[in-house]
Structure formats: structure tokens, C-alpha cells
Chains A and B, each alone.
Chain A
Amino acid sequence: MSRPEQRAKGPTWEESLFQAFYRMIQTIRIHQDNNELVRICLDEFHNTFSKLDLEDDLVIQVSEGRFYIQGERLQFRKQIIRLIHAMLDFFRQRGLQGLRFHTGLLDAPMTELLTFVRLMIRSTEGEEPAVWLTQQLEGHQIPWVSIIKGAETKRRRIDSDLRKRAKTNYFHALSSVKEVAQKFSLQGYAGVRKAKRMVQNMVDCVGEEESILLALSSIKEYDDYTYSHSVNVAVLALCLGNRLGLSRNSLEHLGICGLFHDLGKVEIPQEIINKPGRLTENEREEVQKHPLASVKQILKLHATHDIKSKILLAPFEHHIKYDLTGYPELLFKKNVSLFGRILQIADVYDAITSPRAYRPTALSPDQALVTMLESSGTDFDPILMKVFATMMGTYPVGTLLQFDTGELGLVIDYLKGTAAKKPRIVLLEEDGEGNLKRGDVVELSEKDSGTGESRRKVVKSLNPTSLGIRTADFLL
């Protein structure tokens, strides 16, 4: 295998190539094909590859938990360790042992490179991703790359396993938040072990199957609103954080922030919590103390100073707007942290899509997004809001759609590798007893083969709760 000359300083050529490769996959995962950033990242990878001036193939291979490029081990340097772990997961999930890029890549059109990356991302759809990917590459006539399959190419977890595990995690997370809150009420302190484990599990899930978690976050529990709200906020924040490319450890802290952001509500008197009407000025003031109270509770957690430091800020900030208005009032603090801004978006989204005992309607998920986008730049960080909207899609998972065919359908997920633009819908059918049951699963983008027109057009979107539909019955 040929090796380009090593540069003396800065990142090695292997690292530059690896970074370009990683960035290309991440960007294509998040953005649509026509996004400028996608073009930039494709160019970057292509240029990096061309500059190597290789005489023969470029081989990127995994062996014993390490990446090797042209047989040279990629060092676990601080700057790229996060990337390496993410890529190890990416390869592992697809049963890939490596990729061999032939020099033909130099002449390949960018659209082919884009197709290749999309196929790699989508490959987890198949039972045996590496086999599926090989077939797809042949089908798309992409000759400049070949797959080096691992010893174990069979996909380890199929969707139903993931779904089951995600669901279990969700409910464990719910019980761990409940437990912490109850412990605070009764004994004045609590540990974070279980919450931490649940969040770690969720972080693992979010890397593998975002849409399952997003589906779970559309569960709205009437009776235990604050608990399910906390878990939903954690889930939404984790999904957004994952989209942004945060490391596993940062995601862990972000998730714990989500679970505990409303912990301070244990201090709000029951009569206010359950008051059906408008709050008086005093009651509002009482309520507005809860971000501070959350900090107080977090400080009381049985945890090291280090972890407390990492999970204090965002709960404090989650009611402070992007323009720094909101509450609590600030004198010393001059900005809102990234975690705080993420949490705030997740928090508001879940709040306005959740029904209340005194107001059973809520905004439909897509309308919630549109309305939130209007407040971008004042209430919300405009960049994060865009990423959030892209992540949720035009019709977020859990949106109830009414079609021109008279059908009702619930968005259950998105096709993988499509940057969240093609929702899959479960049609809701009457069971003859006045209830709705699960019908066929269809794609919104389905066309009528005769007319070429969309099979179904959306007439309007609804919040499932407005029709008394419990999303959990159809999504889980």
C-alpha cells in the first residue's frame, strides 16, 4: 500500500482524512442533499483524498477497536478521540470491518459520493447491513469503493429489539426521575446512579435510533405530567445534542440536565401545581422560583462536585430566553450556555404539545414548530432552532394527520438517510366499536403510479390528544 509523505506538524494526513470522512457522514446525515454544507463536505473529502496522490487503494480498516488507515494505526489523540469513538460505533452498527476506496474515486461525480454516504447511513435498515450495502453499491453501479466485511456482519439488533429497549429505557428513566423527586420530598436527598444509567442507555439509543426515541417523547402522561415532561425534555435534548455532534459524555450530562431540570418543582405547593385556573401574581412568583429551586435540589444530590458542576447550569437557565429576558433575572451572568439553550427548546416544545387537565388541547407538533420558529432569535437560539426543526421534520413523529382521502394517520418515523423529509405513517382505522386501531404503515411520499401524484395529501395536522388518541398505543 502506498503512503503519502508525512507532514511534520499539525494533524497527520490520516487524521485529516478521517476528520473529513467523519464530517461528510455527519453532515449528510443531518442535512438535505441540496444543502450547501453537504456540497462543501463532499468537496472536502474528495479534495483530501485527491491530495494524497495515492498509487493504489486507500484502506480504512477497523481491527481490535482501532482504526487503521493504510495499515497505520490512528492514534487516540484528544482532538479526534470523539470522532474515533463515533466512527467505531458507526462501523460496528453496520458490521463493517473496513472500506477500500479505489483511485476511481478521483473521477467519480459528487452525486455518486453522496449516494454512497446515504447508502452507508441507511444500511442499518437491512438485517445484514454490510451485505445490503454491498448489494446496493452494485445496484447503483458505484465501482470505486468496496466493503470489507467484519466477521460478524449480521445486524445485532433489529428494530423491534431497539424499540423494546428504547421503551424500557424510557419507562426506567420515568421511574428514576420519580424516585429522585420522591426521595427529595421524603428524605431531602437522593443519588443519581439510576438516572445516570438510564441516560447512558438513552445516549446509546439515540446514536442508533433517533426516531424511536422521538416517538417515545410524544407520549404525554396526563397524570404524571412533570415526570413524563422531564423524560421527554431529556429525550428531545439528547436527540438535538446528538444532531449537533456532542460527545457521549456531554450527552450524558445534557440528559441528566433534562431529567432534573424541573426538580425544583418539588418545592411548589400542591395547590398551585393543581390549580386549574389562572395563577395570581404571587403564585406566579412562587412558580418562577423553580429554576433556582432545581439548582438547590441538584446541589443536594449525592454526587461529586464535578458532576454537579456539569448539570447545574442548564436547569437554572431553562427559562431564560435567548435575548436574556425571562427568569430568573440576571445581574452577573451574561449568556446562556449551549445546554441551557438546548434544554429551553426541548422544554417549550414539550410544554406546548402537551395537553393539560384544564385545557385538553395542545398545539399539534408541526404547528408547535412553526410557532416556535417565529420566536427564533428572541426566545430561542436561531441556529439550534433550525437544527431542531430539521430533526423533527415537517411533521414530527407523533403528529396526527388528516388526509384528503379521509384517512387519519400518525407519523411514526422517518425513512433513514433521508434527512428527515419522508415520514412514515401508521393509518388509523376504526375497529367497529368506536375506537381506532392500527392500520397499514405507509410513506407520505408514496405516489400514485398512474398519475404520478402523491397518494395522500395532508389536509390538516392535529394534536392526537385533541381526538383522545394516546400516541403510545400506536407508536410503541
Chain B
Amino acid sequence: MEMPADTPNYPPEASSAAKGVVTSLLLAVKMFSLYADDHAHCRSALTRIHEHIESFLRDYGELVFQVEKSRLVFDHKGVYQGSEKEGDIAFALFRDGILDLRFQKGIEPEETRTFLRILDRYKTLPAEAEGDIVTALWEAELPHIRYQAADNILETEAEAEAKSLEKSSGEAKGAWGGSVPLEMHMIAENIMERAQGVKELPSIDLAAVQLTAEEARKLEEMVSEEEERDGTREILDMMADILRSQEDESFFGVVLDFLEEELSAALYSGEFEISFRIMKRVHQIRQLCEDYRPWALSLVDEFMGRISTADFLEPLGESLAIINESQLKMAGKTLYMFPSSAIGILAPMLPKAPSSVVRAVLSKVVEGLAARDFRPLEKILENGNEDLLCRLVPLLGHMKDNKSAQALLNMARHPSARVRRLGLKTVISRGLWAPERLMSLIDDESDGIRQLFLKYLGAHRSEAAETQLLIYLRDRKARRGDQKHLVACFRALGRCGVGKSLPFLQDTLLSGRWFSKFFSSPRREGAAAALAELGTEESEEVLEAACDSRYPGIRRAAQFAVSDGSVSEDMP
């Protein structure tokens, strides 16, 4: 409680200056209640009131207002008449027991701003509040805004409340009172036992309990650590100790709620060491509960569900944007401990990631979570937009399981060409082999994808690929008019073929209408090239024979294939 000082003697004209302060104060409080502190309206209201106060202090010295129930009084005259209801400034000050309010020379804008914030926050007080204008002013320690407060208001409230509490239940009163056996206090009990029967000990010698210089230094350290300490880590350990042994389901839930708030604060303020610790402890607790507290498991799972929602996780993007690399690493470790359902929120952050490093960490997290449970990612892959899928498809390339393989094969056939191309590339890099599933790509509208697919087919010998290509070429399904593509298909056949296609190739090269054998034909050239790529004894024999053919069309195709050999640089 601040103590009263004398009220200065003001000249008559000071009243109108004091009224000016009150008017600008009311306006400023209104602005602070409507807009954020840094909004232009608030800034200008702050400047205005601060100027009014400074001008008053300059002209008349200390500015003192007396507070009455619904009005502010300056120099025995009312300068503001409000109403006796919550939200009114004078009433709020009166409600909290403020008797007078003093603004003194040297006041700085930051003090005025803090004062306005306090008025705005506490002008209406909910039942069972945490504090009021007086407690807030006390904590703010504003050097040039002083006040005098009385606690009789609280006394009156206390009396009224005591009556209502007694009325509610006479029995409950004193549930905590009474004489508590000393045995409740183990340490005290031991000390008392030790003291009993012992003759009176000599009183302490104060010289003997003086701190040594070393102890004083340690004490100073302890205090400054305490002052600067963020006790979150210790609180988390405490909470973990409580959960470990907790049989009370409701308390267990209350602690988890608290941890949820801590986690939220830590994630959004970029304190990922803390968030990691919370997640680690919750996992440890879950493990400890597995055998004998099934109810606890479901509470932990509910907790996990809550922290994986959009409301909880979406603002994370902002804190990720401003943290350094080591924090980012810790963020990754934290998120890795989230349930897989968090993928639904984390994955969509990928396209918007503020940097490649952040994206890399998020990708790793999504990949890790999907490895535990693929379903959330699968869902996104089914409905995600092109940008998002392009970020997710590469992740599938790192995974090993069948579900992700199936999803990847689906991505390679996605309606979006960008996604298909990326999907196919990832299929290749992952080494997935599914020519039948992907055969539709052979006629893809994109040249690049068609070429990439043929490269995929021709990457190694495979009867499956050979069969698919044989069917495709035999049935003459190849895109009409695209001779280059046709030749490329034959070449791919030659590269993947295991011999099954030899008769077809031989037939394609050597047979045909008599007349056509005099001219070049892409199918014949393709077959020759395929035979060259097959590189078997039989295929070479066919080619040799073709080189000696009396038909120039056949001969040229074979000779070209032989001279071209299995050169594949120009192969798609």
C-alpha cells in the first residue's frame, strides 16, 4: 500500500488541465480496450494523454486525483462523474480500494502505457479474479505513478463472502482448520523426537552461524539464479513425478491440462528444449502406466489427440520461422514425439515453410510419423493439392514399407503431371518395380514422363516389363505418328527383354509385305534397335542375317542398329 502525501495547492486554472487529463485518459482506455497496443489509435491516444500529463506536471507540479465511488475528484472538485458499475474507471479504482492517484514529474511514456494496460485489464473484474488494479500497480512498480490504497474494501467483501460461505454449508467450514497432529510433519516429528529427553541445549552462538565468504558467494549465486530462473524444467519434472504415482484420475487429467498449456507456450515461444522435455516425460509416463493404469493411458491418448489438432499446432509455423538451427533440431525432435495424426497439420505446413532447412526438418518429422502410422499421410495424399503432394512425394522415396510403396505408385499415376513426374522419379530412386501398375505412363501426355517411364522399363532385364512392352507393341497401341516414341519403346523392350520377345522382333524386322521391305519403317528400325539392345547370340544372328538381306529397308535398319550398337546416349 502506498502512503498518502499532502495534496498540492493548485491555482484555479489547474482544474481544466486536470479535466483534460481525465478526458484523454478515458479515451485512451477505450482505445486500449478496442485495439491492440501497437495500433495507430492506441499510439496516438497514448501520446495525447502523456502530453496532457506532462504539460500538467510542468505547469502545476504533482497531479493528484482523489477517488470516490463513481467519480474522480481534483482539488476538491469533481472532474469526472461515472457510474457505479463494472467497467467504469472511477468505480474500478474505488472498487479496488484506491483512495488517490498521483502522477509525478519524470513520468515516461512506458509508465503511462503500462498504467493504461492495467486499467484496461482490470476495469471489469470477474468473480474469483487473480488480481486487481492495486496488485497490478504494485507489480509494475511505476516510479512516477503512485497511489494510496485501502484494504477495507476487501474486508467488506470478505465479510459478505464469509456469510455466504457459512450459509452454503456450516459443515464445510473449518474442513481445513482444527489442530493438526505433528505426525503430519515427518521432519518436524523427527526433530521433536530427537529433542525429547535431551537436556536443554545451549542457545545458538550467532558468530558460529555467520556465513563464510564462500557461503555468501554461493548464496548470492542461488538468489540470482532464482531471480533469473525459468522454473519450467523443474515444474515439468515435478509434474512427471506427480503423474507417475497418481491414482486420482481427475488430478491426472488436471496435470495433463497444465502440461498442455506449458507445451503450447513452449512451442510458440520457440522454447523447444522445454517442449521436448514435456513430450519425453509424457511418453515416459505413458510407458509407466501401461501395465497397471489403463485409465491413465486413455487420458494420455486424449492429451495426444488434443495437441495434434489444428488449433494447437498451426501457430507453430510462426515460431519455426524465427529460430536458429539448433533450436530447429530440437523442434524436430519434439514433433517427432507427436502422434501420427499430427501429420494432418504438419504436412500442409511444408509448402509454406519459411526456409529449406525448416522444410527439411518438417519433412523428416512427417516421414517419421508416417512410418509409425501411415494412414494420416495416406489421407492427405488422396486429397492434397499439387504443391503439397510435390512436397510429400519425395518423402515416400525414403520409406520402406508396402503402404508407402503403394501410395507412391499411385502418385506416379496422379492426374497432375508434376506429381506424376515426381512420383515416377521417386519410384525409380526408391527402386520400386511395378511395370504393370505403371504401364499407362507409356502413353503419358508428357514427353518427359514417357521417356522417363521407358528408361524405368529399360533399367534392367525383366520378363514382366518385356511382356508389357510386347503386348503394347504387338497390339500396335503405340501413339500413332510418334515414330520416335515407337523406336524408344522397341529399344526399351530390347533393354528389359529376357528373350521372350525375340520371335516378335525377328518377325517385325524381317517380315512384311514385299514392297515395304524396300523402304525404311520405324517399326523395323525399332525392332533392329531392340535386337541390338537384347545383345543375345540369337538376336545378333538375326541382325547379321538382316544385314545381308537383299531388301534395302531391312538391311539399312539392321546395319544402322549394328553400327549404332547399343549406344544408349540418345535413348530416353
Q: Which residues of B contact A160 (CB under 8 A)?
A: none
Q: Report whether A274 and B151 are in contact in the complex, using a CB–CB cutoff of 8 Å.
A: no
**Contact pick for A302, options B129, B178, B231, B237, CB 8 Å:** B129
- B residues contacting A by CB (< 8 A) are 1, 3, 5, 104-106, 125-132, 134-135, 138-139, 141, 143-144, 151, 154-155, 157-158, 161-162, 165, 168-169, 172-188, 190-192, 194-195, 200-207, 209-213, 215-216, 218-220, 222-223, 225-227, 231-232, 234-238, 240-242, 244-246, 248, 251, 254-255, 257-258, 261-262, 265, 281, 284
Pair B178/A193 contact, Cβ less than 8 Å: no
Return the contact of A338 from the options B209, B211, B226 (Cβ within 8 A): B226
Q: List 21 A-B contacts (CB under 8 A).
A: A66-B143, A168-B151, A175-B158, A176-B158, A178-B176, A185-B172, A186-B172, A196-B130, A201-B1, A204-B1, A245-B220, A273-B179, A276-B181, A278-B183, A292-B246, A305-B265, A309-B231, A338-B226, A344-B187, A379-B191, A390-B206
Min CB gap B418→A, angstroms: 45
Q: Do A370 and B204 touch across chains, with their CB atoms under 8 A apart?
A: yes
**Is A227 part of the contact surface with B, judged by Cβ < 8 Å?**
yes
When the two chains form the complex, which single residue of B175, B184, B222, B251 contacts A290, counting CB atoms closer than 8 Å?
B184
Give residues of chain A (246-262) contacting chain B, Cβ–Cβ below 8 Å: 246-250, 252, 262
Q: What residues of A have a CB within 8 angstroms of the CB of B235 in the complex?
A: 309, 312-313
What CA separation (Å) do A35 and B210 show in the bound complex? Answer: 7
Main SS class of interface, A: helix
Q: Does chain B have a CB within 8 A of A337?
A: yes
Asked if B178 and A393 sit within 8 Å, CB to CB, the answer is no
A182 to B158, CA, bound (A): 12
Judging by beta carbons under 8 Å apart, are B105 and A182 in contact?
no
Tell me the bound Cα distance from A330 to B242 in angstroms: 9
Most buried by A among B172, B174, B176, B257: B176
Given A64-B104, A156-B3, A321-B187, A265-B200 contact (CB < 8 Å): no
* Additional A-B contact list (12), CB under 8 Å, known A88-B143, A279-B184, A351-B182: A65-B144, A152-B5, A191-B127, A295-B242, A307-B130, A328-B242, A357-B179, A363-B195, A367-B195, A373-B204, A383-B211, A393-B206
Tell me if A141 is interfacial: C-beta within 8 Å of chain B.
Answer: no
Q: Which single member of A276, A359, A371, A384 contacts B201 (CB below 8 Å)?
A: A371
- Cβ of A371: which chain B residues have Cβ within 8 Å of it? 191, 194-195, 201
Contact of A179 among B125, B165, B178, B244 (CB under 8 A): B165
- A interface residues, how many (CB within 8 angstroms): 146
Find A196's partner among B131, B155, B227, B257 (CB 8 Å cutoff): B131
Which of B106, B130, B180, B195 lies in contact with A265, CB distance below 8 A? B180
Q: Which residues of B contact A384 (CB under 8 A)?
A: 219
- Note all chain B residues with C-beta closer than 8 A to A124: none
Contacting pair B165 A390 (CB below 8 A) = no
Report whether B211 and A332 are in contact in the complex, using a CB–CB cutoff of 8 Å. no
Closest to A419 in B: B206
Nearest-Cβ distance from residue B141 to partner chain A, whole angstroms = 6
Could you mark each residue 329-364 of chain A with 1 if its beta carbon is under 8 Å from any beta carbon of chain B, else 0?
Answer: 111111101110000100110011000111100010
Name which of B168, B180, B236 has the most chain A CB atoms within 10 A of its CB: B180
A352 pairs with B188, CB closer than 8 A: yes
A286 to B238, CA, bound (A): 19
- Smallest CB-CB A-B distances: 6 pairs: A64-B106, A191-B128, A65-B143, A357-B179, A351-B188, A332-B237
8 Å CB interface, A212-226 against B? 222-226
A186 CB contact (under 8 Å) in B105, B169, B190, B246: B169
Query: Of all chain A residues, which has the CB nearest B211?
Result: A386
Complex interface residues of chain A between 50 and 89 (CB less than 8 A to chain B) = 63-66, 82, 85, 88
